[in-house]
Amino acid sequence: MAIEARHYIRNRILISVDLFGHDRLNLTAEKNWTIANIYTEVCDYLAIPESRLFGLAKKLDYGFVFLNPEIRLSALEKKSPSRHMSFFLPRNKNKYSLSKASELAENAGAGVILIYLRVRYYVPNQCLRGRVVRHLYYEQLQLNVLNYGLLCSDEIYFQLAAFSIKLYLLTRRNSKCYKSKLEVDGNNVKLSDHFPQFMIDNYGSDYLYDNIPSLLAPLKGQGRESVEWRFIRLASEQSSDFNLHLYPVSLSDLSHLNNSVSNTTSSTTSLLSSPINLIRRSHSGRSSILKTSGKGTFWLGIGPNGFEFHEEDEGKRITHLNNLPWVKIDKLSRRHSIFLIHFNSGRKMTLYTGSSQEARHLFILSSQLHEHQTIAHLSSQQSARQLEQQDRLQYNESYVYSEGEVVAGDRLHGNPDVTKGDKLLVETSESPLFPRIAVSPSRDASDSGVVRDEELSQKQEHRQSAYI
């Protein structure tokens, strides 16, 4: 269809989709196509269901911004700040070649729109279904490990690098070009693909290459899926926690800081390099939640369990400060370039961003992620109950004791009797990290869930809120 090589038509747009930094999928699309059409093409190519887990995003200075599926490509073409001409796709030879793409670009008189396939909603590990979905989720976590610079033990980075190198070697050995055993050296293994740059600077290339065999020794005989799963679990633990979005924000109003700067300089301080110079103590009570040093950039993490707060230290490493689970949040709102987190206690935390677009993106992403996590949690509960019922039926011929209790392995079930009906199933307790979304009849649609921009009035355009 759109991904096959064919003659160029002038009313088509060239689209290049970055697939987690490893491959590029090059498409030609009609100008009246939407982002949803491109996402369908990407899912068909990767042979995965059209899940909300992933999404298409554009890369800006403050991070990845996920695109509205209803946006037309023609509008995106006009707003695109830059174009990129980079074509490579080793997976399929039927896609555009470099010469073909250059020819199309010359005929079109315009560049190529570059968008990125990334994980939109980080989820608990048990919600990952399907081998391809888990592999793509692994690729996203690998990018986070290499780029986030989170402050955790070096042992974790060494273990994650061992998993990554093992998967890389398994992939190379399974290819047609590499049948013999590969040597671990600079010709076969590129350190920057598996270690963050600060690890390479601290330990040196020679030391890392010399110790890679000892790191891979415990993984001997393990398959690809097993190693991928171990990487995902380790990268999602509380001690490492790379399964989250990170966006730079500030605890102080940047507009007042910029106004105090001398007028002799024409350049303005960007958000990524703006330090936090003060924390105002007010009724919001944020100083009791966050104890920052005030020396580095403040980062807001949005993950499956809620918000996480980080601060960049002098060594450009991001240090974890505190967590804020969904259960402690009453609602989210935004006003102009301000993102507000309202607590159940009535207090609030005010986070300043560089523009109203950034605040709007944080508001929408956080609201949608919470809704997605609640649905995923309820689905996992239903799956757990179904597995429990199947397990009970499997042992329904077990030995029955005089008291009416059935022993099935390590589980204790009740005999199907009305007097002992409470023992039939093991109850699944509600996790405090996934509260249910209850919509009060007195609240309108703009006070719960995700607020659509189309449903907002002109007055609500500058202020949005979502109850958690």
Residues across the chain: 468
What is the CB neighbour count within 10 angstroms for residue 396?
12
Q: What is the pLDDT of residue 135?
A: 94
Q: Which helix (H) or strand (E) holds 224?
A: helix 224-235
Show the tokens assigned to 306.
Answer: 């809620």
Closest CA to 376 of 127, 36, 6: 127
Residues 40-52 have a mean pLDDT of 88
Q: Residue 333 in contact with residue 349, Cβ under 8 Å? A: no
CA dist 150 and 378 (Å) reads 31
Domains of the chain and CATH, by start: 12-119 (3.10.20.90), 125-235 (1.20.80.10), 244-257+272-399+427-468 (2.30.29.30)
Q: Which helix (H) or strand (E) holds 375?
A: helix 356-394
Query: Which of 44-58, 271-285, 403-417 has maximum average pLDDT?
Result: 44-58
Show the tokens assigned to 203.
Answer: 């330990």
Closest CA to 88 of 17, 186, 176, 191: 17
CA dist 131 and 135 (Å) reads 6
Residue appearing with tokens 């402690």: 328
Query: Which of 5-19, 265-279, 297-311, 441-455 has maximum average pLDDT?
Result: 297-311
Provide the pairing of β-strand 298-303 with 245-249.
antiparallel
Least trusted range by pLDDT, from 76-90, 236-250, 295-309:
76-90
Least trusted range by pLDDT, from 26-40, 102-116, 218-232:
102-116
411 SS3 class:
strand
Please tell me which residue, 404 or 211, carries the higher pLDDT value.
211
Q: What is the pLDDT of residue 386?
A: 57
Residues 244-253 have a mean pLDDT of 87
Please tell me which residue, 62 or 287, carries the higher pLDDT value.
62
CA dist 359 and 356 (Å) reads 5
CA torsion sign, 127 to 130 to 131 to 132? Answer: negative
Closest CA to 250 of 320, 339, 369: 339
CA dist 101 and 80 (Å) reads 19
Q: Residue 412 in contact with residue 430, Cβ under 8 Å? A: no
322 SS3 class:
strand
Q: Residue 145 in contact with residue 307, Cβ under 8 Å? A: no
Show the tokens assigned to 92.
Answer: 């399929």
Q: What is the 3-state secondary structure (H, E, C) of 298-363?
A: EEEEEECCEEEEEEECCCCCEEEEEEEEHHHEEEEEEECCEEEEEECCCCEEEEECCCHHHHHHHH
What is the CB neighbour count within 10 angstroms for residue 118?
21
What is the CB neighbour count within 10 angstroms for residue 258?
11
CA torsion sign, 208 to 213 to 218 to 222? Answer: positive
Q: What are the Cα distances from residue 311, in Å, to 308, 354, 358?
A: 10, 17, 19
Least trusted range by pLDDT, from 147-161, 163-177, 410-424, 453-467:
410-424
Q: What is the DSSP code string of 134-147?
A: HHHHHHHHHHHHHH
* Tally of CA atoms within 13 A in the half-sphere of 229 that contains its CB: 12
Least trusted range by pLDDT, from 40-44, 48-52, 206-210, 301-305:
48-52
CA dist 130 and 362 (Å) reads 29
Tell me the pLDDT band of 59, cut-offs 50, 70 and 90.
very high
Least trusted range by pLDDT, from 103-117, 184-198, 400-414:
400-414
Q: What b-and-e string marks burial along 178-199, b requiring 16 or more CB atoms within 10 Å of the CB?
A: eeeeeebeeeebebeebbbeeb
Residue appearing with tokens 């174009």: 83
Show the tokens assigned to 8.
Answer: 């160029």
Q: Residue 381 in contact with residue 357, Cβ under 8 Å? A: no
Residues 375-401 have a mean pLDDT of 55
Please tell me which residue, 1 or 49, carries the higher pLDDT value.
49
* Tally of CA atoms within 13 A in the half-sphere of 358 that contains its CB: 21
Residues 321-337 have a mean pLDDT of 90
Q: What is the pLDDT of residue 415?
A: 41
Q: What is the pLDDT of residue 74?
A: 82
Q: What is the pLDDT of residue 439?
A: 40
Q: What is the pLDDT of residue 32?
A: 86
Residue appearing with tokens 């992620």: 369
Tell me the pLDDT band of 392, cut-offs 50, 70 and 90.
low
Q: What are the Cα distances from residue 418, in Å, to 273, 306, 391, 398, 425?
A: 66, 41, 20, 19, 13
Q: Is the pLDDT of residue 40 over 90?
A: yes
Residues 10-31 have a mean pLDDT of 87
Show the tokens assigned to 147.
Answer: 């780029």
Least trusted range by pLDDT, from 66-80, 87-101, 132-146, 280-294:
87-101
Q: What is the pLDDT of residue 369?
A: 84
Q: What is the pLDDT of residue 29?
A: 87
Q: Residue 311 in contact with residue 292, Cβ under 8 Å? A: yes
- pLDDT digit string, tens, across residues 134-191: 999 999 999 999 999 999 999 999 999 999 999 999 988 776 555 556 677 667 889 9
Mean pLDDT of the chain: 72
Instruction: Put the strands of the sheet holding 63-66 in their side by side order.
Output: 23-30, 12-19, 113-119, 54-60, 63-66
Sequence-separated (6 or more) residues with CB below 8 Å from residue 361? 65, 66, 247
Q: What are the Cα distances from residue 276, in Å, to 62, 281, 290, 324?
A: 16, 14, 12, 20
Query: Which of 78-92, 94-108, 140-154, 304-318 has maximum average pLDDT?
Result: 140-154
Please tell me which residue, 77 or 135, carries the higher pLDDT value.
135
Question: To the nearest whole percent, how much of the chain has pLDDT over 70?
Answer: 58
Strand partners, 302: 245, 307
Q: What is the pLDDT of residue 255?
A: 52
Tell me the pLDDT band of 97, cut-offs 50, 70 and 90.
very low
Q: What is the pLDDT of residue 114?
A: 92
Residues 415-442 have a mean pLDDT of 40
Residues 79-95 have a mean pLDDT of 40
What is the CB neighbour count within 10 angstroms for residue 1?
10
Please tell me which residue, 231 or 391, carries the higher pLDDT value.
231
Q: What is the pLDDT of residue 9?
A: 53
Tell me the pLDDT band of 381, cut-offs 50, 70 and 90.
low
